[in-house]
């Protein structure tokens, strides 16, 4: 719909909604300081949620922030495994996930019992789990990794055989970077799986000269045509440091907002068949306000699982 197609009534309604956002944001910021809370926001979140963040970042950056914050309350605007990881690192803090249904379908593709069975089938392999897993899966893994450090962690692991859980695309990317045997789980991200080489080629035809920045959750054939393969925060660095002025962004389309903020003089294009993660869009400003007012819904992890899972996360953080 263009502006010409929107009636005056609609424009007034849109103005009202924008004003509402502003009013809610002001209330959020007020109650946030009363609660001594910190708001951690993933790069794919709605722009108005990113705008109230104390820290916006990728999974690695957000975990580091959760580990070092001195706040009493962490409001995690992202998906469930991210809030779980924050709780594992900071169990004495209240960790709020404003929308409890915000899960990650890829994380749900691996369960701990199956991982234990796979460990038995591959006794020589070290188990490296992507942070997009449940706490229970982390508890039966040797190392955790994120999209920002997967090849480095797998290289540093003291084994030349890796069982990589749960993302087959990130696993294939790791295998392409290292001289190690990588046995990949068969999980995938439904949002990134929708991105095809045809999408990229169509976008390149429309924007010749643009560079392609892709997330390593994309299929191998997509990564093969990308100029940069990066975590979401790595994409921000690539966009700022590259001499290119135009980029095709092969990841969840929420990334266009932080990219445009980081490099306002550059142009970013999402793909023709816009990839959107519905779970990342469930968190709204009103839900953040509600969470701060009620200190619910909280994410916790049973202590025995937390302690075992934390080892895998801390081994990752210790490797830098």
Residue ranges that bind ligand SF4, judged by CB under 6 A? 79, 104-106, 132, 189, 191-192, 217, 252, 277, 279-280
What's the closest the beta carbon of residue 232 comes to ligand SF4, in angstroms? 9
Does position 248 interact with ligand 13P (CB under 6 A)? The reply is no
**Is-contact 250 212, C-beta < 8 A?**
yes
Does the CA dihedral 152-154-155-157 come out positive or negative? positive
**Is-contact 191 276, C-beta < 8 A?**
yes
Contact string (CB under 6 A) for ligand 13P, positions 108-147, x = contact: ------------------------x-------------xx
Task: List the single partner that 315 binds among ligand SF4, ligand 13P, none, CB under 5 to 8 Å by kind.
Answer: none
What is the C-alpha to C-alpha distance for residues 97 and 42, in angstroms, rounded to an integer? Answer: 12
Task: List the single partner that 146 binds among ligand 13P, ligand SF4, none, CB under 5 to 8 Å by kind.
Answer: ligand 13P
Peptide bond just before 166 cis, omega within 30 deg: yes
Does position 43 interact with ligand 13P (CB under 6 A)? The reply is yes
**Is-contact 151 177, C-beta < 8 A?**
yes
Which residue carries 């605007």 as its tokens?
77
Does position 58 interact with ligand 13P (CB under 6 A)? The reply is yes
Task: List the single partner that 133 binds among ligand 13P, ligand SF4, none, CB under 5 to 8 Å by kind.
Answer: none
Task: List the single partner that 288 binds among ligand 13P, ligand SF4, none, CB under 5 to 8 Å by kind.
Answer: none
What is the C-alpha to C-alpha distance for residues 127 and 159, in angstroms, rounded to an integer? Answer: 10
Task: List the single partner that 105 binds among ligand 13P, ligand SF4, none, CB under 5 to 8 Å by kind.
Answer: ligand SF4
Hey, which residues between 3 and 32 contact ligand 13P (CB under 6 A)? Answer: none
What's the closest the beta carbon of residue 81 comes to ligand SF4, in angstroms? 8
Buried (b) or exposed (e) across 33-68, using 16+ Cβ within 10 A? eebebbbbbbbbbbebbbbbbeebbbbbbbbebbee
Task: List the single partner that 279 binds among ligand SF4, ligand 13P, none, CB under 5 to 8 Å by kind.
Answer: ligand SF4
Strands (E), the chain: 37-42, 55-57, 73-77, 94-96, 126-130, 143-145, 161-165, 181-184, 211-214, 228-229, 246-250, 267-269
Half-sphere exposure for 175 (CA within 13 Å, toward CB): 17
User: Which of 151, 254 has the CB closer to ligand SF4?
Assistant: 254
Hey, which residues between 178 and 237 contact ligand 13P (CB under 6 A)? Answer: 189, 215, 217, 231-232
Q: Which residues bind ligand 13P (CB under 6 A)?
A: 43, 58-59, 132, 146-147, 189, 215, 217, 231-232
């Amino acid at each position: 719909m263009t502006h010409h197609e929107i009636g005056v009534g609609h424009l007034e309604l849109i103005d009202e909604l924008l004003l509402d956002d502003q009013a809610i944001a002001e209330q959020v910021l007020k109650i946030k300081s009363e609660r001594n809370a910190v708001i951690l926001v993933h790069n794919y979140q709605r722009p108005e949620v990113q705008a109230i963040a104390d820290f916006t970042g990728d999974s690695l950056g957000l975990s580091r922030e959760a580990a070092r914050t001195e706040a009493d309350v962490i409001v995690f605007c992202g998906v469930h495994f991210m809030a779980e990881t924050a709780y594992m690192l900071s169990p004495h803090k209240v960790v709020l996930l404003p929308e409890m249904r915000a899960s990650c379908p890829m994380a749900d593709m691996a369960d701990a019992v199956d991982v234990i069975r796979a460990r038995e089938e591959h006794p020589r392999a070290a188990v490296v789990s992507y942070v997009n897993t449940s706490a229970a899966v982390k508890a039966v893994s040797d190392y955790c990794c994120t999209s920002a450090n997967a090849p480095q962690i797998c290289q540093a692991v003291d084994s030349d055989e890796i069982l990589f859980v749960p993302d087959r695309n990130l696993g294939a990317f790791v295998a392409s970077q290292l001289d190690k045997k990588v046995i990949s789980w068969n999980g995938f991200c439904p949002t990134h799986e929708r991105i095809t080489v045809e999408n990229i080629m169509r976008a390149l035809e429309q924007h010749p000269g643009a560079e392609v920045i892709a997330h390593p959750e994309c299929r191998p054939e997509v990564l093969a045509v990308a100029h940069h393969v990066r975590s979401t925060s790595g994409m921000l660095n690539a966009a700022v440091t590259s001499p290119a002025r135009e980029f095709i962004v092969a990841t969840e389309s929420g990334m266009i907002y932080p990219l445009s903020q980081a490099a306002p003089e550059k142009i970013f294009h999402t793909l023709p068949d816009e990839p959107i993660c519905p779970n990342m869009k469930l968190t709204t400003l009103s839900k953040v306000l509600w969470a701060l007012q009620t200190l619910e819904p909280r994410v916790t992890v049973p202590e025995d699982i937390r302690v075992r899972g934390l080892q895998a996360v801390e081994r990752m953080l210790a490797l830098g």
